[in-house]
């Protein structure tokens, strides 16, 4: 299979034609090999517009949704970005081709290590991973210019809002365990935020003190 051709076709047919216009996002999606982030048995489906299962009962998001979230985050080349729910590491890898530094949190240690190894193999050296509760953010590295949450929450965790820089953008799926609405929150001041809602999405749930409980 010609993965480069499949990747270019994915960007044109599934992402650009569906309305993603940010040239930085489109170029990053063309650059990062999604086939390197899926399970061995799923490589032939790597460039289809579907979420795919990975280890620990998690998923790698469909390409269009990754692109839509990154476009909503309005990443700039000097930005510091936090991704919550790193999973395979794919979205963090794409973000790293646009932003200066990406910090990525994953609840499952095995996924954290696998993602770290993938990015090391690709020689993407501006992403830092850790295992932890993503709903608490990464206070030691805050503030962030953008925070992208790749898992659904019942409500927006307060620590994530407070770890935004002034003007920072938080993109997060909010709703029930089965269906969420993609929300974009912009920090306008110390205590003021602006929110707008985007498309309906469906993510695995975020487990943490500020999100879903493990037994939910």
SS3 annotation, the chain: CCHHHHHHHHHHHHHHHHCCCCHHHHHHHHHCCHHHCCCHHHHHHCCCCCCEECHHHCEECCHHHHHHHHHHHCCCCCCEEEEECCCCCHHHHHHHCCCCEEEEEECCHHHHHHHHHHHHHHCCCCEEEEECCHHHCCHHHCCEEEEEECCEECCCCHHHHHCEEEEEEEEEEEECCCCEEEEEEEECCCCCEEEEEEEEECCCECECCCCECCCC
Sign of the four-CA dihedral 96, 133, 34, 19: negative
**pLDDT number for residue 177:** 87
Q: Which of 42, 61, 135, 176 is catalytic?
A: 61
CA distance 92 to 101: 10
* pLDDT exceeds 70 at position 215: no
Judge whether 216 counts as a catalytic residue: no
By the 8 A CB rule, do 72 and 169 touch? yes
CA distance 120 to 8: 23
pLDDT tens per residue across span 50-92: 999 999 889 999 999 999 999 999 999 999 999 999 999 999 9
* pLDDT exceeds 60 at position 216: no
By the 8 A CB rule, do 149 and 173 touch? yes
By CB atoms closer than 10 A (0-12, 13-18, 19+), residue 111 is buried
Among residues of the chain, what percentage have pLDDT more than 70?
A: 99
Predicted TM-score (pTM) of this structure: 0.95
pLDDT tens per residue across span 135-167: 999 999 999 999 999 999 999 999 999 999 999
Residue 124: is the preceding peptide bond cis (ω within 30°)? no
**pLDDT number for residue 57:** 87
* Residue in 22, 23, 21, 26 with CA at minimum distance from that of residue 9: 26
Instruction: Set out the domains of the chain in order of their start, with CATH numbers.
Output: 3-201 (3.40.50.150)
């Amino acid at each position: 299979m010609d993965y480069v051709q499949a990747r270019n076709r994915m960007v044109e047919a599934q992402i650009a034609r569906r309305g993603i216009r940010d040239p930085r996002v489109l170029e990053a999606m063309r650059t990062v090999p999604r086939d390197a982030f899926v399970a061995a048995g799923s490589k032939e489906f790597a460039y289809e517009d579907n979420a795919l299962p990975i280890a620990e009962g998690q998923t790698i998001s469909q390409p269009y949704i990754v692109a839509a979230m990154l476009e909503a985050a309005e990443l700039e080349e000097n930005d510091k970005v936090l991704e919550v729910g790193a999973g395979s590491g794919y979205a963090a890898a794409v973000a790293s081709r646009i932003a200066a530094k990406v910090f990525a949190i994953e609840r499952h240690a095995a996924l954290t290590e696998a993602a770290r190894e993938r990015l090391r193999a690709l020689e993407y050296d501006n992403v830092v991973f850790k295992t932890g509760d993503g709903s608490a953010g990464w206070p030691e590295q805050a503030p962030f210019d953008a925070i992208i949450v790749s898992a659904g929450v019942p409500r927006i965790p307060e620590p994530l809002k407070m770890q935004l820089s002034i003007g920072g953008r938080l993109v997060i799926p909010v709703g029930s365990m089965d269906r969420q609405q993609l929300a974009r929150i912009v920090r306008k001041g110390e205590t003021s935020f602006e929110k707008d809602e985007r498309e309906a999405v469906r993510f695995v749930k975020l487990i943490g003190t500020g999100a879903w409980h493990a037994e939910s």
